[in-house]
Amino acid sequence: MSSGLTVFLVSSGLAVFLTLGIGIVAGLRTMTAPAVVAWASHFGWIDLSGTHLKFMGSIIALVLFTLAALGEYVVDTLPGTPPRTSGPALTGRIFMSLLAGACIGIACGGAAWLGAVFAALGAVGGAFAGYEARKRIVKALNVRDVMVAIPEDLFAIGLGLLIVARLSTH
């Protein structure tokens, strides 16, 4: 095992948990993970200064990721939206989890690439688990999909905020 991976795993099981968690957020809602990280970085809840990911704290990143997340919440309720497990949708979730996971990995004191890898694993798991859970809940409750989509949005936002709050530098 490489020394960087050993330090990441040994120094904090919490780091692995948090990076997997931000990946799950991306698996549920592609743009929520980077939006939450952008807000956290912008307000100094996590420190990315002095890193190649410091742009995440910029007002431009904050606005772009927030608008993208809001747009995704709307698009997700439309009947023609493809499943999150389709190739393009899953690829987008993985890419956004790589970005958010790298930020969380750095905020945990680890290597960006380790955070990215664990987040990507979380994104794949979150996408498939979220898809199955939502499909089954809609069927079991015999409700329209939007009735489950909105609570799922709120869950993804809440989980993302819980993760960055745990890392708050204040």
pLDDT of residue 20 exceeding 80, the answer is yes
Which contiguous run of DSSP H or E holds residue 39? Answer: helix 32-42
State the total domains in the chain. Answer: 1
27 occurs within a structural domain = yes
Residues 91-117 pLDDT 10s: 999 999 999 999 999 998 888 999 999
Distance CA 77, CA 134 (A): 12
**Percent of the chain's residues with pLDDT above 90:** 82
pLDDT of residue 112: 92
Domain that holds residue 127: 12-77+85-166
pLDDT of 130-170, one tens digit each? 999 999 999 999 999 999 999 999 999 999 999 999 887 54
With respect to residue 95, please indicate whether it lies within any of the assigned structural domains. Answer: yes
**Does 23 score more than 90 pLDDT?**
yes
User: Comparing C-alpha atoms, which of 124, 125, 145, 122 is closest to residue 135?
Assistant: 145
Report the chain's mean pLDDT, rounded to a whole number. Answer: 91
Q: Is residue 144 part of a domain?
A: yes
Please report whether residue 3 resides in a domain.
no
Q: Which pLDDT score is estimated for 169? A: 55
Residue 109: which residues within 8 A CB-CB, separation 6 or more? Answer: 11, 12, 15
The Cα-based distances of 29 to 34, 54, 111 in angstroms read 10, 23, 24
Q: Does 10 have pLDDT greater than 50?
A: no
* Separation CA 130–CA 136 (nearest Å): 10
In a domain, 40, yes or no: yes
Residue 2 within a domain: no
Identify how many contiguous H helices and E strands the chain contains and give both numbers.
Answer: 7, 0
Does some domain include residue 7?
A: no
8 A C-beta contact, residue 41 and residue 48:
yes
Confidence of residue 11 (pLDDT cuts 50, 70, 90): low
- Over the stretch 57-68, which tens digit does the pLDDT of each residue have? 999 999 999 999
Question: What is the end-to-end Cα distance of the chain in Å, rounded?
Answer: 33
